[in-house]
């Protein structure tokens, strides 16, 4: 069967979820194509390309801020064609009832869809029962005209990551994207390839949907999984040779959140077999001196760590990130001492935050003296504990969705007004300019490349 994937993104043109699903479908003999509905498209051109491919199923991947546009595209598909539709992605997993009740949606997929989508497509192609597939919900019209929804349980997580095929990068225009800054990776440099060592994060930060995923998969297997090092090295070697990669960018939530034996094997093998540098992200409390040094020795050049907030008590009680500022400072100091570039990520505007608390975040960043400083406006999303808090308190923003870098997109709350957010944002922006200027001078002096001009979340 032919499956058409549709996404709606104007900043990042590579989605790991689509790459994974497409790879699994191709492994089982199906065909895939991708349309990214960006500024180049009109509704007429979109439908023209959908019909030209003539798929057996149209799949939409959805982040919460994309849902309004995706609803329009779903309507177009149903009004202009008779192709069945399936929706998946973060928004679907946490707003399943809303999405399945959309009149233009036939199926939804909750959670990981690698095996679920293959089972669905196989059943559709064979004309067999597709109402009992784990992770898949199907909607049909009842005899009274009301929808009947087949809600199926979650399937266990795959036992081995090695059994999953490598991401299908051929579905994306990678040869073009690798020549273009910004569109492919978070490191804004050419010929940077996104990769992943595995899936899953063990933490329950309240502003992140991971806590909901952990609940969804409770009792369904090990959530934090890694590929074996030999299997991962095979892929990295292939990608380096096939695409002439200058550097790799690991998309794992916390690269250090795995056994020390796996890490030691990875660092040893990477140093021996992969001739280009790489970057990783990690929590500061997992960034031990040993881990940082092993990473630097193996070819890592950039360590990205989320600070998020400078007040220890607020960070622990509200954000559920229990780590000491001294641990954060030690991780940044150690990384600098071993020659790593260090990026710090920060968020402004959490519920209950005050201007004084915001400035504690800035003061902590001044102490750790990062090489890259990034700050964002907090956005409450479905599936995150702080979304429920913000909603219950009546603090939800006036602007929706994903207004990460506009103070006007912040929560509307009495302890931290929009005007106060603007003032804090201005001070954070001024500090970022200082960091950027200092880094640029150092790179010129040391002959290094300034490879990451910005990071987007």
Q: What percent of the chain has pLDDT over 70?
A: 96
Mean pLDDT computed over 34-56: 96
Q: What is the pLDDT of residue 445?
A: 56
CATH of the domain at 316: 3.80.30.20
CB atoms within 10 A of CB 137: 23
Domain of 90? 2-151
CATH of the domain at 91: 3.40.50.280
**How far apart (Å, rounded) are the C-alpha atoms in residues 64 and 402?**
8
Largest Cα–Cα separation, the chain: 75
Residue 157 lies in a domain: no
Examine the fold and report which residue of 118, 151, 184 is the final residue of a domain before the chain moves on: 151
**How far apart (Å, rounded) are the C-alpha atoms in residues 67 and 316?**
32
CA 433 to each of CA 39, 348, 451: distance values in angstroms, whole numbers, following the listed order: 31, 17, 16
Asked whether residue 356 carries a pLDDT value surpassing 80, the answer given is yes
Query: CA 31, 37, 42 angle in degrees (round to 5)?
Result: 120
**How far apart (Å, rounded) are the C-alpha atoms in residues 130 and 120?**
6
* Residue carrying structure tokens 């600070």: 307
Mean pLDDT computed over 370-389: 94
Clarify whether residues 441 and 368 are in a common domain. Answer: yes
Q: Per-residue pLDDT tens for 263-314?
A: 999 999 999 999 999 999 999 999 999 999 999 999 999 999 999 999 999 9
**How far apart (Å, rounded) are the C-alpha atoms in residues 77 and 422?**
41
Asked whether residue 443 carries a pLDDT value surpassing 80, the answer given is no
Residue 135 lies in a domain: yes
**How far apart (Å, rounded) are the C-alpha atoms in residues 214 and 440?**
41
The answer to whether the beta carbons of residues 60 and 74 sit under 8 Å apart is yes
Clarify whether residues 203 and 352 are in a common domain. Answer: yes
What is the chain's mean pLDDT, rounded?
94
CB atoms within 10 A of CB 215: 10
Q: What is the pLDDT of residue 390?
A: 97
Clarify whether residues 183 and 294 are in a common domain. Answer: yes
Clarify whether residues 143 and 180 are in a common domain. Answer: no
Residue 161 lies in a domain: no
- Secondary structure E strands in 277-379: 277-281, 300-308, 341-348, 372-377
The answer to whether the beta carbons of residues 404 and 377 sit under 8 Å apart is yes
Give the model's confidence band at 455: pLDDT under 50 very low, under 70 low, under 90 confident, else very high: very low
| Closest among 175, 185, 87 to 136, alpha carbons compared | 87
What are the φ/ψ torsions at residue 16 (nearest 5 degrees)? -65, -35
Q: What is the CA radius of gyration of the chain?
A: 23
Clarify whether residues 225 and 340 are in a common domain. Answer: yes
**How far apart (Å, rounded) are the C-alpha atoms in residues 405 and 376?**
6
Clarify whether residues 241 and 119 are in a common domain. Answer: no
Q: What percent of the chain has pLDDT over 90?
A: 86
Asked whether residue 453 carries a pLDDT value surpassing 50, the answer given is no
Per DSSP, the residues of 115-181 read HHHHHHHHHHHHT---SS-TTEEEEEE-TTS-EEEEEPPPPPPPS-GGGSPPP--TTTTHHHHTTST
What are the φ/ψ torsions at residue 248 (nearest 5 degrees)? -110, 150
Asked whether residue 450 carries a pLDDT value surpassing 80, the answer given is no
Question: H or E segment at 97?
Answer: helix 96-100
Give the model's confidence band at 447: pLDDT under 50 very low, under 70 low, under 90 confident, else very high: low
**How far apart (Å, rounded) are the C-alpha atoms in residues 39 and 50?**
17
Q: Count how many domains the chain has.
A: 2
Clarify whether residues 42 and 145 are in a common domain. Answer: yes
Q: What is the pLDDT of residue 320?
A: 97
Clarify whether residues 213 and 356 are in a common domain. Answer: yes
Q: Per-residue pLDDT tens for 229-247?
A: 999 999 999 999 999 999 9
Residue 452 lies in a domain: no
By three-state DSSP, how is residue 402 classified? coil
Asked whether residue 457 carries a pLDDT value surpassing 50, the answer given is no
**How far apart (Å, rounded) are the C-alpha atoms in residues 141 and 146?**
6
Clarify whether residues 344 and 219 are in a common domain. Answer: yes
Total count of residues recorded for the chain: 457
Asked whether residue 401 carries a pLDDT value surpassing 90, the answer given is no
CA 184 to each of CA 56, 241, 244, 427: distance values in angstroms, whole numbers, following the listed order: 28, 18, 15, 30
Q: Per-residue pLDDT tens for 139-197?
A: 999 898 899 999 999 999 988 999 999 999 999 999 889 988 778 888 778 899 999 99
Clarify whether residues 371 and 222 are in a common domain. Answer: yes
Q: Label residue 40 exposed, middle or buried (CB < 10 Å: 0-12, 13-18, 19+).
A: exposed
Q: DSSP code of 413?
A: B
Clarify whether residues 191 and 46 are in a common domain. Answer: no
Examine the fold and report which residue of 97, 117, 151 is the final residue of a domain before the chain moves on: 151
Clarify whether residues 179 and 274 are in a common domain. Answer: yes
Residue 160 lies in a domain: no
Residue 453 lies in a domain: no
Q: What is the pLDDT of residue 188?
A: 75
Residue 60 lies in a domain: yes
The answer to whether the beta carbons of residues 343 and 282 sit under 8 Å apart is no
**How far apart (Å, rounded) are the C-alpha atoms in residues 197 and 233?**
10
Model's pTM, two decimal places? 0.93
Examine the fold and report which residue of 151, 185, 207 is the final residue of a domain before the chain moves on: 151
The answer to whether the beta carbons of residues 296 and 268 sit under 8 Å apart is no
| Closest among 95, 77, 86 to 136, alpha carbons compared | 86
Residue 376 lies in a domain: yes
Q: What is the pLDDT of residue 454?
A: 41
Asked whether residue 456 carries a pLDDT value surpassing 50, the answer given is no
């Amino acid at each position: 069967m032919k499956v058409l994937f549709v996404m709606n993104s104007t900043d990042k043109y590579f989605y790991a979820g689509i790459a994974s699903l497409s790879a699994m479908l191709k492994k089982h003999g199906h065909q895939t194509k991708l349309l990214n509905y960006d500024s180049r498209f009109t509704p007429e051109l979109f439908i023209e390309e959908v019909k030209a491919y003539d798929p057996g199923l149209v799949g939409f991947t959805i982040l919460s801020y994309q849902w309004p546009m995706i609803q329009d595209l779903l309507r177009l598909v149903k009004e202009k064609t008779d192709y069945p539709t399936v929706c998946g992605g973060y928004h679907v997993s946490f707003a399943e009832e809303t999405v399945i009740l959309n009149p233009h949606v036939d199926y939804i997929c909750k959670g990981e869809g690698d095996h679920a989508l293959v089972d669905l497509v196989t059943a559709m192609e064979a004309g067999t029962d597709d109402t009992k597939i784990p992770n898949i919900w199907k909607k049909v019209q009842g005899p009274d005209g009301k929808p009947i929804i087949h809600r199926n349980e979650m399937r266990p997580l795959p036992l081995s990551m090695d059994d999953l095929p490598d991401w299908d990068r051929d579905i994306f225009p990678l040869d073009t994207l690798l020549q273009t800054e910004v569109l492919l990776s978070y490191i804004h440099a050419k010929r940077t390839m996104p990769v992943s060592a595995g899936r899953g994060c063990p933490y329950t930060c309240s502003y992140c949907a991971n806590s909901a995923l952990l609940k969804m998969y409770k009792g369904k297997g090990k959530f934090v999984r890694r590929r074996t090092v030999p299997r991962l090295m095979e892929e990295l070697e292939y990608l380096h040779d096939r695409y002439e990669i200058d550097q790799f960018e690991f998309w794992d939530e916390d690269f250090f959140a795995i056994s020390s034996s796996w890490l030691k094997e990875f660092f040893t093998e990477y140093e021996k077999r992969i001739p280009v540098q790489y970057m990783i992200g990690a929590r500061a409390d997992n960034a031990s001196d040993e881990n940082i040094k092993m990473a630097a020795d193996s070819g890592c050049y950039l360590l990205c760590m989320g600070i998020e907030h400078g007040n220890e008590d607020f960070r622990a009680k509200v954000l559920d990130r229990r780590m000491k500022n001294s641990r954060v400072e030690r991780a940044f100091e150690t990384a600098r001492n071993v020659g790593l570039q260090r990026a710090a990520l920060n968020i402004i505007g959490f519920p209950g935050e005050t201007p004084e608390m915001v400035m504690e975040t800035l003061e902590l960043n001044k102490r750790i003296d990062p090489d890259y400083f990034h700050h964002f406006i907090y956005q409450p999303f479905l599936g995150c504990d702080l979304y429920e808090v913000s909603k219950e308190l009546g603090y939800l923003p006036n602007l929706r969705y994903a207004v990460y870098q506009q103070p006007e997109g912040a929560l509307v709350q009495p302890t931290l007004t929009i005007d106060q957010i603007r003032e804090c944002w201005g001070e954070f922006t001024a500090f970022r300019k200082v960091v950027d200027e200092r880094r640029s001078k150092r790179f010129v002096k040391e002959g290094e490349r300034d490879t990451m001009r910005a990071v987007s979340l």
